[in-house]
Amino acid sequence: MEEFKISWQSPSNIAIVKYWGKEENQIPMNPSFSFTLDKSKSITTLIAKPKNQDSENKFFFDGIRNDSFGKKSFLLLEKISKIEPWLHDYSFEIYSKNTFPHSAGIASSASSMSALALCLTSLVEQNSKKKFSLCEFNTLASEYARIGSGSASRSIYPKGSIWGQNTSIANSSNAFAIDWSKEIHPYFLQIQDAIFLVNRNEKSVSSSAGHELMNQHHYRASRIVQANQNLIKLLQALKTGDWNTFVEISEEEALTLHGLMMSSNPGYVLLEGDSIRLVHFIRKLRSEHGLPVCFTIDAGPNIHMLYPLSRANEILDHMKLEFPEYFSEDRIIFDCVGEGPVCVSE
């Protein structure tokens, strides 16, 4: 046994058809689709050392040891060790950092868990003494990522991916995501994502708690039907470059997600005043100025404004007029569709 060190850089993603609600073992209640982001990334280094009596697992964030902050990472290691028992012979040091503020309301678990899963897949590949094919490597990494965080399974792939089984989609699976990048019309590959940081604070209700509330939700069955239907419509729109259908589904899914939160028992509201103000602003840009722009929202108050690169300057001018405080306070992250993870080991 030798020391092993690997580093991966993996992006977050933005779901258009939302994953909300899950079964046991991190299996999704419904399928989902997301775009892979470009600039919002986690960089993770995994060091595996042969275990001795003084060994302990350690987690560092931004160079500072923080084992409490690394609980999800340690839990993923524990779960993968049940699949690969030889991992028990190692102790691990994990070094993680983000290219975006941790409290910015971007899905950091998607990028951090996918980066760690990629590191673990590299270690498993070395231990097997067999070179995996790209498909084998990505499928295994996506499955490991899913065990750590459902949305992380989609961050393994470039541009766009599907996670969750749908009988109309070949090779779709609840266990891992599949690459859908080659099916996306060039128009959608230039999509920009302006992320308005309405509130940087930790959410009052975690996504995990929100997922649990779907188990007994009155609208559970109809939500599963809606998500499956929206996914099929979305994939057709992405193939053909149908912007209007994309807008309809993106906004319906965003509002449905928050509607499900508000109608849970107990119900809760994560949207804030500026969230609503931004929704109205985006719809006004579309209805009064004819601009190709829409929104999506994750499980929090922050708003993702989506638009094509070709109209960015016009849209940016309107944003500066309506929301100057977001520019002066550095509360917008400008991102776009990206090319997926990269191994960054020296």
CATH of the domain at 294: 3.30.70.890
Answer yes or no: is 343 within a domain.
no
CA–CA gap between residue 165 and residue 191 (Å, rounded) = 26
Q: What is the pLDDT, as a whole number, of residue 304?
A: 97
CA–CA gap between residue 171 and residue 118 (Å, rounded) = 21
Q: What is the pLDDT, as a whole number, of residue 52?
A: 87
Q: Are residues 20 and 153 in the same domain?
A: yes
Residues 6+ apart with CB under 8 A from 139: 176
Q: Are residues 179 and 225 in the same domain?
A: no
The residue among 155, 184, 213 that closes a domain is 184
Q: Are residues 84 and 176 in the same domain?
A: yes
Q: Are residues 159 and 217 in the same domain?
A: no
> Does the model's pTM come out above 0.85?
yes
Q: Are residues 15 and 40 in the same domain?
A: yes
Answer yes or no: is 277 within a domain.
yes
Q: What is the pLDDT, as a whole number, of residue 105?
A: 56
Question: What is the separation, in whole angstroms, between the first and last Cα of the chain?
Answer: 21
CA–CA gap between residue 72 and residue 19 (Å, rounded) = 19
The CA–CA distances, whole Å, from 334 to 103, 106, 195 equal 16, 12, 6
Q: Are residues 162 and 214 in the same domain?
A: no
Q: Are residues 143 and 274 in the same domain?
A: no
The CA–CA distances, whole Å, from 318 to 140, 188, 284 equal 44, 22, 11
CA–CA gap between residue 44 and residue 301 (Å, rounded) = 27
Give the number of other Cβ atoms within 10 Å of residue 147's Cβ. Answer: 22
Q: Are residues 177 and 206 in the same domain?
A: no
Beta-bridge mates of residue 93: 47, 58
Please count the structural domains in the chain: 2
For strands 90-98 and 58-61, give the pairing.
Answer: parallel
Answer yes or no: is 344 within a domain.
no
The residue among 153, 184, 215 that closes a domain is 184
Q: Are residues 212 and 318 in the same domain?
A: yes
Q: Are residues 27 and 155 in the same domain?
A: yes
Q: Are residues 103 and 169 in the same domain?
A: yes
Answer yes or no: is 130 within a domain.
yes
| Pair 138, 178: CB distance under 8 Å | no
The residue among 142, 166, 184 that closes a domain is 184
Q: Are residues 169 and 230 in the same domain?
A: no
Answer yes or no: is 341 within a domain.
no
Answer yes or no: is 71 within a domain.
yes
Beta-bridge mates of residue 37: 337
Task: Supply the CATH number for residue 57's domain.
Answer: 3.30.230.10
Show the domain range for 75.
Answer: 4-184
Answer yes or no: is 321 within a domain.
yes
Q: What is the pLDDT, as a whole number, of residue 54?
A: 82
Answer yes or no: is 345 within a domain.
no
| Token digits of residue 273 | 């005043």
Q: pLDDT tens track of the chain, all 346 residues? A: 789 999 999 999 999 999 999 998 899 999 999 999 999 999 999 999 999 888 899 999 999 999 888 999 999 999 999 999 999 999 999 999 998 876 555 668 899 999 999 999 999 999 999 999 999 999 999 999 999 999 999 999 999 999 999 999 999 999 999 999 999 999 999 999 999 999 877 777 888 889 999 999 999 999 999 999 999 999 999 999 999 999 999 999 999 999 999 999 999 999 999 999 999 999 999 999 999 999 999 999 999 999 999 999 999 999 999 999 999 999 999 999 999 999 997 5
